Structure 1
Amino acid sequence: MGRTKWVIAVALGVALSACRTVPAMPPSAADAPDTTGSWRATVTDQDQERIRGWYKSWQAALADARAKGKGADIDREGVLLQPMAALPNPHLPAGDYRCRTVKIGAQGRGGLGYIGYGWFRCRVAPEQGLSSLTKLSGSQRPVGLIFPDNLKRQIFLGTLELGDEKMAVNYGSDRMRDMAGLVERIGDNRWRLVLPAPTYESLLDVIELVPAN
């Protein structure tokens, strides 16, 4: 039986308040009775390996960053970059968020071991019985769905929108754009999206999310 694939598209509204939406998912993924395992019916083999190897990716990224003299930057981020910092109740409420990306480790010898970006805009919205997460600004914009998993994490599956693109590619149609990660709560009104083994630049990406208001 072929693996279920779902489409993530971005619709641009004419009003400033319009938000990006995710089209319908197939019933096998969105309405599965076993909701704790529904992401497994959707995930690609590549992304399943990313999720399975999240801790190994994190260790490699931190080791590379420290070897390149970025230990102080890592330590300054505190709990954000501590692999085992996830707290119970990872649910990410709907709403607008401030979000910032930290890239750790580098693919290749010449890359930087740590890059911390400024704040951008993200949005979480109800979507097909799940939640969608969209980065609304910046040159690299993840967009996808959040699936339940366990008491300390949810699973993000999505694709990467680049530059001035107005629509994300289908999940599962371009392995260079597919993304998979862990949504975790790390404090009061503070979450992170951990993206192990990203396709570009780094060994690990961590997106911090805090409510916009």
Structure 2
Amino acid sequence: MRQVLIALTLAATLGGCGGRKSPPAAEAGRREAEQAPASSWRAIATPADRERLRAWRDSWVDALARARASGAAQAIAAQGALLLPDTRLPDPLPPPGDYRCRVFKLGAKGAGGLNYVAYQYFTCRIARDGALLRLEKITGSQRPVGRIFPDPAGRPVFLGTLMLGDETRPIAYGRDQSRDLAGFVDRVGERQWRLVLPLPAFESLVDVIELVPAAS
């Protein structure tokens, strides 16, 4: 019965289609999820994503060191506060609307990979989704989509999945660990936000997605 309740919570909060079923959560994780309100990211996050979130800063420092050592120090410095782990301004939630977004991949996971990649601007959208915000990358071959959860600690948490290629619907969060994404949303400038994704399954140690309003 307890596993059924968790499955229903996941389906209602981050619905989708396809993918593989994730293994049962650990007993401690199940207890914490059952005690958390439905609007809390703690009621939804998988154990693997909790680990990603806990390791965010160490992963980022490691990724920056690799990127700088590869010759990208000047390119990183040119981005100012965007790629600095500890830069966070008050009022971190971005307002609903259309955004220009670009992805920075820091620190290669495998031998032969690039330690610094900066992509061109794509299109992202943030919309109201009940009491939460929904963030979706509209264009590009890798498209995160998910919800932003406020957190009492003051740093909003993103939980979602990765759409690839010509897929038209996201896999349900928690069904395929290789597609699950977890991260933080920060405001780093007057009209500039970022989505930080530590330890994604593919390519990099950290992805940083810059978000600026499309009208700016």
**TM-score, length-scaled by structure 2:** 0.84
Counterparts of 2:105 and 2:150 in 1: how far apart (Å)?
A: 25
Aligned to 2:171: 169
Q: Does 1:99 align with 2:101?
A: yes
- SS of equivalent to 2:119: strand
Which letter does structure 1 place at the counterpart of 2:197? L
Q: Does 1:32 align with 2:41?
A: no
Tell me if structure 2 keeps the 8 A contact 1:87–1:152: no
Tell me if structure 2 keeps the 8 A contact 1:152–1:184: no
More helix by share: 2
Counterparts of 1:135 and 1:176 in 2: how far apart (Å)?
A: 18
Which letter does structure 2 place at the counterpart of 1:104? L
Aligned to 2:110: 108
Q: Does 1:135 align with 2:137?
A: yes
- Correspondence list, 1:179-194, <5 A: 179-194=181-196
Tell me if structure 2 keeps the 8 A contact 1:8–1:144: no
Per-residue deviation, 1:152: 4.3
Tell me if structure 1 keeps the 8 A contact 2:16–2:173: no
Aligned to 1:67: 69
**TM-score, length-scaled by structure 1:** 0.85
Structure 1 residues without counterparts, runs of 5 or longer: 11-27
Structure 2 residues without counterparts, runs of 5 or longer: 18-32
Q: Does 1:149 align with 2:154?
A: no
> Number of aligned pairs?
192
Which letter does structure 2 place at the counterpart of 1:155? V
Counterparts of 2:123 and 2:152 in 1: how far apart (Å)?
A: 27
Q: Does 1:5 align with 2:7?
A: no
Per-residue deviation, 1:9: 3.6
- SS of equivalent to 1:102: strand
Counterparts in 2 of 1:91 and 1:151: CA distance versus 1, 3 Å: farther
Which letter does structure 2 place at the counterpart of 1:32? P
Aligned to 1:25: none
Aligned to 2:200: 198
- SS of equivalent to 1:73: helix
Counterparts of 1:138 and 1:127 in 2: how far apart (Å)?
A: 23
Tell me if structure 1 keeps the 8 A contact 2:183–2:198: yes
Tell me if structure 2 keeps the 8 A contact 1:105–1:112: yes
Aligned to 1:20: none
- SS of equivalent to 1:83: coil
Which letter does structure 2 place at the counterpart of 1:156? F
Per-residue deviation, 1:92: 1.4
Which letter does structure 2 place at the counterpart of 1:145? R
Alpha-carbon RMSD across the aligned residues, in angstroms, is 1.9
Counterparts in 2 of 1:87 and 1:151: CA distance versus 1, 3 Å: farther
Identity of counterpart residues, as a percentage?
A: 52
Residues 147-156 or 171-180, more deviating: 147-156
Aligned to 1:80: 82
- SS of equivalent to 2:135: strand
Which letter does structure 1 place at the counterpart of 2:71? G
